[in-house]
Homo-oligomer: A and B are copies of this chain.
């Protein structure tokens, strides 16, 4: 697992400089403290900020732009950003319309955002995303992890803010999307943090970890790799059991790559997932197949389902113009 790196300690900083240079039309990088802000802010619009450890590209910085995030706050790889970063980002993008923080459910992220918001004096609201049903343990005490479903929350809340919805409305909406969203992942191998000397997950060749977290956290079971159709079926079954969508309710199906799995395999999983969902008389109303919430170069994928409604669908279809997600404009 060699990597294209200079000093591994500089990986996040150098990558962000490259990213900001490449997408200078859409975003602007603050280096000290470190955050990425949208270039053409809309005055009077609720500002949406998200953040968390790096290594999940394009999440979050790749979703800064029109119709999604106003700022992203990247920590070190797999490590929550600091309070001063979050605060500086919030101060740079929010005005009296207020600030909505979208936070993935990890101790560090929660505490750092919380502390930053204690120091932030404009109106603000926080929504915690916990969509991952993959973990065997921990759910009772720390709640579910926040993973790929974050993209769905950021997209829909971002569209509402772009339509000039107020802070409470945006926050309520984000919360209801988060509640309607579940994800489960599977890994075929680990990944290596640039500053570490070995992978964070040891899987024997031919093994898979079902329920993997996006930092290589263990899931619910380890087994020999099964055919793609069976894997998709296991994930979809678990998601549908948890979400229990009534017949006729439109679903969003998002097959996410964890980094090392090529599009061909994601498409094979997606096809299997569609068949299984439709086979149960449910409708796949919207689809997304792409590596959007990655775990460095981890070979693996996750499947996200969101129970949609007319409002969610409209906002999902609204234009989005960001480095990582772009349509309709």
Q: Which residues of A contact B (CB under 8 A)?
A: 1-6, 11-12, 14-19, 21-22, 54-55, 57-58, 62, 188-189, 194, 205-208, 225, 227-229, 231, 259-272, 274, 287-289, 294, 296-297, 299, 301, 326-327, 329
- Taking a contact as CB atoms closer than 8 A, the residue among B2, B16, B194, B264 that contacts A55 in the complex is B264
23 A-B pairs (CB sep. < 8 Å): A1-B205, A2-B205, A2-B206, A2-B207, A2-B208, A2-B225, A4-B301, A5-B227, A5-B268, A11-B264, A14-B228, A15-B263, A15-B268, A15-B271, A18-B267, A18-B268, A18-B271, A18-B274, A22-B287, A22-B288, A57-B264, A259-B260, A326-B327
The answer, among B2, B208, B262, for a CB contact under 8 Å with A57, is: B262
Chain B residue nearest to A77 in the complex (CB): B264
A268 to B1, CA, bound (A): 17
Kindly provide the distance from the CB of A136 to the nearest chain B CB, expressed in whole angstroms.
21
Q: Which residue of B lies closest to A296 (CB)?
A: B262
Closest chain B residue to A287, Cβ basis:
B22
Pair B299/A2 contact, Cβ less than 8 Å? yes
Cα–Cα, bound, A265→B192 (Å): 12
Are A263 and B2 in contact, CB atoms less than 8 angstroms apart? no
B19 touches A267 (CB 8 A): yes
Alpha-carbon gap, A21 to B267, bound state (A) = 9
Closest to A258 in B: B262
Cα distance A208–B2 in the bound complex, in angstroms: 9
Question: In the assembled complex, which residues on chain B have CB atoms less than 8 Å from the CB atom of A270?
Answer: 18, 21-22
Q: Complex formed: what's the CA distance from A21 to B286 in Å?
A: 10
Q: Which of B6, B21, B205 contacts A227 (CB 8 A)?
A: B6
- Shortest C-beta distance, A28 to chain B (Å), equals 16
Given A18-B274, A22-B287, are A5 and B267 also a contact pair (CB < 8 Å)?
A: no
Q: Once the chains bind, are A5 and B228 in contact (CB under 8 Å)?
A: yes
- Rounded to whole Å, the gap between the CB of A229 and the closest CB of chain B is 5
A264-B54, A268-B14 as given contacts; A297 in contact with B299, CB under 8 Å:
yes
Judging by beta carbons under 8 Å apart, are B2 and A271 in contact? no
* Known contacts A297-B262, A326-B326, A271 near B14 by CB under 8 Å: yes
